[in-house]
Structure 1
Amino acid sequence: MTGKDAEKTAAPFIRPDASLDELREAAGHCTGCDLYKNATQTVFGEGPDDAPVMLVGEQPGDAEDRAGQPFVGPAGRLLDKALAEAGIDRSRVYVTNAVKHFKWSVVRGHKRLHQTPKIIEVRACAPWLRAEIERVRPRVVILLGATAAKSVLGPGFRVTLHRGEPVRSDLAERVVATVHPSSLLRMPDPDARARAFDEFVDDLRKAAGESPPPARGPA
């Protein structure tokens, strides 16, 4: 990692007094890391600016990059189904990603395959997520997948060890990490996929519950 790379961040694009709409506009011009160079556009978060629940994924996928909206691809449709089964009103949820530009490696057919963002890219984009949380002030933040969890809770956090456990944080009344819905789509066995979906729904239901259980400290 060079000194130049270490200094890259989205922070200069964020005005402290900017509204959520103004942040969204500013993010469209972000060059805080190099991911913007191969992405179609910035994909900022969407949802009510007073949403009680915020869902944070890893990054936009191929469909999201083309549409300019988060969670509109296959994983997003599965998430919508899970939210409905968990009794969570999708229209009252703010959805976003830890990284706002689509990082991809190769093209397979007509689809570009995503590549996991580097730590430096996640850190560069972190000011956008922090700003979204500060503007929306959700009661619950649900982190979907390892990249989202580590971006908020630190590189030592392991979803496999602490899935579904509330974590003490200054970001919200309750912060909980679970799997990303895309991980369910990659399961080849239908029975295993069905069980994993039920577990995911259960995680969402518990995370969005009205009474926050005792929270543990971050890993």
Structure 2
Amino acid sequence: MPRTEAPIGAQQFVPSNARELDEFKAAAAHCTGCELHRDATQTVFGRGNAHARVVFVGEQPGDVEDQKGLPFVGPAGRLLRDAVDDAGIDASSVYITNAVKHFRFEWRGQRRIHQSPGPAHITACHPWLVAEFALLRPELVVVLGATAAKSLLGPSFRVTRSRGQLMPWPASAQHPEDFPAAQLQALATIHPSAVLRADDRDAAYAGLVDDLKVAATALA
């Protein structure tokens, strides 16, 4: 079996002197830090309030997001917007992004089927998250699902064990040197796509909203 070369990573594509999120977004459009850029339609960068108090971090763009170039605009995104509203979080105070900025998929006939990013993809794309946080400086990061949790909270973190709990930002988590991590909190919950796949969708949605209500209370 041929040996696969490790991704070069996104760090060399992240502008060192950017002062606006749009500058990062423009640079990310040319990122070839891992092989996912070859098949994806485009880079899908974060969007929302540049002064967001809360940042939502998901896994990766899906098929709809890949086509439109915006995160969380497909079915999972619509469900997340409903959950944010039902939890009482001000949507205007939110920024939303993904741990991996390109869509990973496989073809099945004429359909593109989601594949979870691997550890190498998560690591390669992490500099973009660090860059986003450096400008956003949020009060709270809501981690959506296992991939985002592994990217931000470490490979041993389990959403099922710790969901809905406010926790201090881990000292081991990578962040810019001047980032005030001591003032930052994190909260993990399920990815909204898990609600769409659940056998009991109503119960899964209620659980997501309950987790987000903890975030809303922290921001109040």
Structure 1: 4+ residue segments shifted above 6 A: none
CA RMSD of aligned residues (A): 1.9
Q: What is residue 36 of structure 2 aligned with on the other side?
A: 35
Give the TM-score normalised by structure 1.
0.89
The DSSP-based 3-state class of the residue aligned with 1:101 is: coil
Q: What is residue 162 of structure 1 aligned with on the other side?
A: 162
Contact residue 146 and residue 158 of structure 1 kept, 8 A = yes
- The reply to whether residue 70 of structure 1 matches residue 67 of structure 2 is no
Q: What is residue 85 of structure 1 aligned with on the other side?
A: 86
Q: What is residue 173 of structure 1 aligned with on the other side?
A: 184
Q: In structure 2, what is the Cα distance between the partners aligned to 1:183 and 1:204?
A: 15
Q: What is residue 129 of structure 1 aligned with on the other side?
A: 129
Q: In structure 2, what is the Cα distance between the partners aligned to 1:145 and 1:211?
A: 21
> What amino acid does structure 2 have at the position aligned with 1:139?
E
Equivalent residues in 2 for 1:184-203 (5 A)?
184-188=195-199, 192-203=200-211
The DSSP-based 3-state class of the residue aligned with 1:95 is: strand
> What amino acid does structure 2 have at the position aligned with 1:203?
D
Q: What is residue 14 of structure 1 aligned with on the other side?
A: 14
Deviation at 1:140, TM superposition (A): 0.8
The DSSP-based 3-state class of the residue aligned with 1:71 is: coil
The DSSP-based 3-state class of the residue aligned with 1:42 is: coil
The DSSP-based 3-state class of the residue aligned with 1:209 is: helix
Contact residue 138 and residue 172 of structure 1 kept, 8 A = no
- The reply to whether residue 97 of structure 1 matches residue 98 of structure 2 is yes
> Does the C-alpha gap of structure 1 residues 187 and 50 become closer, same or farther in structure 2, counting only changes over 3 Å?
same
Q: What CA deviation, in whole Å up to 9, does each residue of 1:9-48 have, x standing for no partner? A: 1000112221211100000000000000000000000011
The DSSP-based 3-state class of the residue aligned with 1:208 is: helix
Query: Number of residue pairs matched?
Result: 207
> Does the C-alpha gap of structure 1 residues 202 and 42 become closer, same or farther in structure 2, counting only changes over 3 Å?
same
**Which ranges of structure 2 fall in alignment gaps of 5 or more residues?**
170-180
Deviation at 1:4, TM superposition (A): 4.4
Q: Name the stretch that deviates more: 25-34 or 166-175.
A: 166-175
Deviation at 1:184, TM superposition (A): 0.7
Q: What CA deviation, in whole Å up to 9, does each residue of 1:27-77 have, x standing for no partner? A: 000000000000000000001110111000000000000000000000000
Q: Identity over aligned residues, as a percent?
A: 51
Q: What CA deviation, in whole Å up to 9, does each residue of 1:144-185 have, x standing for no partner? A: 000001100110000011111223212762111100000010
Q: Name the stretch that deviates more: 80-89 or 54-63.
A: 80-89
> What amino acid does structure 2 have at the position aligned with 1:177?
A
Contact residue 137 and residue 172 of structure 1 kept, 8 A = no
Deviation at 1:91, TM superposition (A): 2.5
- The reply to whether residue 183 of structure 1 matches residue 184 of structure 2 is no
> Does the C-alpha gap of structure 1 residues 15 and 87 become closer, same or farther in structure 2, counting only changes over 3 Å?
same
